[in-house]
Amino acid sequence: MKKSNRYIIIFILLLANQFISHSQENKALSPRNANYTMDVKLDTDKKTIGGQLQLVWRNISPDTLTELQFHLYLNAFKNTESTFMQESGGSFRGSKAGEDELSWGYCDILDMQVKDGENLTSKIKFIQPDNDNKKDQTVIKVPLSDSILPGQTIVIDIKFKSKLPKIFARTGFAGNYFFAGQWFPKIGVYEPAGMRNARKGGWNCHQFHANSEFFADYGVYNVNITVPKDYIVGAVGQLVDEKIQGSEKTVRYKAEDVIDFSWTASQRFIELNDKWGDVKIRLLIQPEHKDMADRHFESAKIALDYFTAHVGPYPYPNLTIIDPPLSGSGSSGMEYPTLITAGDAPAWLPKGIRIVEMVTIHEFGHQYFMGILASNEFEEAWMDEGMNSYLETLIMDAAYGKNTSMFDFAGLKIGDTEMQRTGYANSNSRKIAESYRFAWEYQQGGYGMLSYNKPATFMNTLHRLVGNECMDEIMKTYYKRWKFKHPCSKDFISIVNEVVAKKHGDKFGKDMDWFFNQVLYSSNICDYKLQQIVNNKTSKPDGLFDKDGSKVMGSQIESDSLKEYESKVIVTRIGEVIMPVEVLVRFEDGQEITKTWDGADRSFEFKFLTNSKIVFAQIDPENKIQVDVDFANNSIQLEQNTNPIWKYSVKFLFWLQNIIQTVVWLA
C-alpha cells in the first residue's frame, strides 16, 4: 500500500470516529415526541411574556387522532373560580394570593394554526376532564380536520401571551424577580387504551389542581428569551448564545430529552459556578445569601455522588440552582429538568439546622423521578415525591449522620429518616386515604403526608427488610429499565418482585405484592406492641433448659445451685398491617436471643425455660419496620428509669420534631 493512500485511509477513519463520537453525544435518550422552538420577550413592567412557539409533535401511539389537548396552567391564577383557587383557597405552603390587578395571571392563545394548514384558533374549547367546574380554563381541546396517523408528525404554530401572577405558588413575579414555570401552552400526553400505565385511554391532560404537579412527554427545547440587558437569566438546559441590542439582550437556551422548560430572570442575582466531574453547577443566589453558597454546592455534589452510585448516572451536562428572594419564596423548593429552586434560607442559619441541604438534595432528586423517569405526578404522586423523599433520607443520613441529619444544634439531634417517619406516624390523617390515588382526590387532606412521608417510610421499611445490596439493585434496575419511559407503580413493583426473588428466593413469599397491597394500596396502619413479660419460678425439674429451649440433663450440671424460670414474652398486633418481625429478648445474666415471628396472629407468646429471668424485650430491635406507627410500645424493661427529667425530655423532643416537620413542609 502506498504511503499516501495509508494517510488518506487514516484521515477518513479519524473523520468517521469524530462523526460517530459527535453522533453519540447528541444521541436521543428519549422518544423526543414533543419538541418546542420558542421566541419570547419579558415585559418587566406589565409582568407579561409575549411571543410565539412552534410545536413539532409526533404521534407515537397506535391510534389515529382527531384532536389535540393542551394545558394552559397559568389560567389557574386567572380568577377565584379556577379549580386550583377553589381547592387551595388562594393559599399555598403558607403564602397567599394577592388581590390587586397585577396579582392575577393567565395564558392567552392569540393564534394557533397547523403549519401550512388550517387555522385552529376558532376551534379552541375549554374542557374540564377532572370535575364539573365549567369556570376552569386550564385545559383546552382542539379538533383537527385532518387526522394524525400513527407515527405521523404535526407542526403547530402558536402565538400567545402569558401574564405572570404575583408569586405565591411556584410561578410569577416578586418585584423585579421573575420565575416562569408552566408558563406556555403545553401539549398533554396521549395514552392509548390498554397501555400498561393508562387508567383509561385517550389524552392525559388533567386540570391544574392545588394538590398536584405535572406530567409531560419528552422533547428538545430551543428557546430565545429577550429581557432587559441588566437581568441575569437562568433556565432549563444550556446557554447557547447571548446577544445585546440596545437596552435588551436575548439569550438562547437548548435542552434535550426533557419534559419541561422553565426560566428565571432578576437584576439581583449573583452568579457562582462549580463543577462535579463533567457536570457544570451554576448557582444564582441573592446577595444577602451569598455566604450560603458553599452549602448549596456541597449538598448538590453529595446528591450527585449518591444518585450516581446507588441509582444511575446523571445524563445531563449541567445543573442550575436558583435562590429566590424572600419576597419570592413561593417559588422556592421546586424542580424542573436541570434546574431547581432552593429554599430561601437566611444567611445566619446555623449549619446544624440543615434545611438548606435537605431542600437542595430533595429538589435535585426530582431530576431522576420527576424528570428522567417522569412518572405521572397527577395520578401517582408517591412515585416522584415519595420515592424522592426516601432517597433524600438515605443521602441526608449518610452525609450528616442518621441521628443528626436534619437537626444537630444546641444539643438536640434529629435525623431525616425519623423526621419522615414522625410526619407519617403522628399524623391524624394517616388512615383517611391510601397513598395510591389521584393527587387532588385527598378530599379530607393528607396529600403531603400520604405522598411524601408515608411512601418515604414504607420505602425505608422495604429497604431494611431486603437489605442494602438488594435495594441498590432494585433502584438501579428500575432506573436503567424505565428511564425516559414514564413508568407506573406496577412497573416498579414488578422490578421489586424480580430482584427480591433473585436475591432472597421465597424468603418473603412468592412475591412482594403483599407488602405493597398493605402500605401503598390501603390505608391500614402497622402497630405491634410488646404486651407483657412474665417470669414464673418453676418447680424443681428433672433437667434444665438452655435459653434456646434445648434440654440439658441434670447429670451435666448441678441444678440445685441454679434458679430456673418459666418465662414468656407476649406480643400483639394492634394494627391491620402484617409484617415479619423480630423480637429481642434479654435475660438477667446479660445474654440475648432474637426470635422471628411472621406477625400474622393478633397475639403470640414466646416461651422460655431458663435459669435466668427475662428483664427486657423489644419488638423490631433494628427498627426495620419503619411503618410501625408507635415505637414507644415496642419494648418493656422491667427495671425502668423513673427519672422524671427523662420523661419530660422525650415529650419535648416529640413536640420539637413536629415543629421542624411543619417548617420543612412549608419550605
DSSP string covering 103-138:
G--EEEEEEEEETTS-B-GGG-EE--SSSS-TT--S
pLDDT band at 475 (very low <50, low <70, confident <90, very high): very high
Same domain, residue pair 425 and 289: no
The grid coordinates of residue 315 equal 445524563
Residue 277 backbone class (left: φ over 0; alpha: ψ -120 to 50; beta: rest): left
Same domain, residue pair 548 and 514: no
Same domain, residue pair 288 and 422: no
Same domain, residue pair 131 and 198: yes
Q: How far is CA 441 from the centre of its chain?
A: 19
Q: Which residues pair with 55 in a beta bridge?
A: 36, 156
In a domain, 421, yes or no: yes
Same domain, residue pair 377 and 418: no
Q: Which residues pair with 143 in a beta bridge?
A: 67
Same domain, residue pair 39 and 23: no
Same domain, residue pair 185 and 243: yes
Task: Tell me the average pLDDT across 50-70.
Answer: 97
Task: Tell me the average pLDDT across 364-387.
Answer: 97
- Asked whether the beta carbons of 370 and 335 are under 8 A apart, the reply is yes
3-state secondary structure of 172: strand
In a domain, 655, yes or no: no
Model pTM score: 0.89
Q: Which of 327, 360, 388 is the last residue of a domain?
A: 388
Same domain, residue pair 562 and 459: no
The grid coordinates of residue 341 equal 429552586
Q: Which of 519, 537, 567 is the last residue of a domain?
A: 519
Same domain, residue pair 257 and 375: yes
* Residue-number span of the structural domain to which 585 is assigned: 528-624+630-641
Q: Which of 388, 412, 437 is the last residue of a domain?
A: 388
Residue-level length of the chain: 667
In a domain, 658, yes or no: no
Low-confidence winner among 106-110, 345-349, 663-667 (lowest mean pLDDT): 663-667
Same domain, residue pair 514 and 595: no
Distance CA 75, CA 269 (A): 28
Q: Is residue 602 over pLDDT 70?
A: yes
Q: Is residue 269 over pLDDT 90?
A: yes
Same domain, residue pair 258 and 272: yes
Distance CA 622, CA 637 (A): 17
Q: Give whole-number Cα distances, 557 to 443, 546, 560, 589, in Å.
A: 68, 12, 9, 17
Number of domains the chain contains? 4
Which CATH number fits the domain that encloses residue 547?
Answer: 2.60.40
Among residues 425, 452, 453, which one has the least CA distance to residue 577?
A: 425
In a domain, 217, yes or no: yes
Task: Tell me the average pLDDT across 656-666.
Answer: 48
In a domain, 137, yes or no: yes
Q: Is residue 417 over pLDDT 80?
A: yes
The pLDDT value given to residue 648: 46
Q: At 329, give phi and psi (nearest 5°).
A: -65, -20
In a domain, 395, yes or no: no
Which CATH number fits the domain that encloses residue 223?
Answer: 2.60.40.1730
Largest Cα–Cα separation, the chain: 105
In a domain, 181, yes or no: yes
pLDDT band at 64 (very low <50, low <70, confident <90, very high): very high
The pLDDT value given to residue 6: 45
For 66-76, letters b (16+ CB in 10 Å) and e give: eebbbbbbbbb
In a domain, 463, yes or no: yes
Same domain, residue pair 361 and 497: no
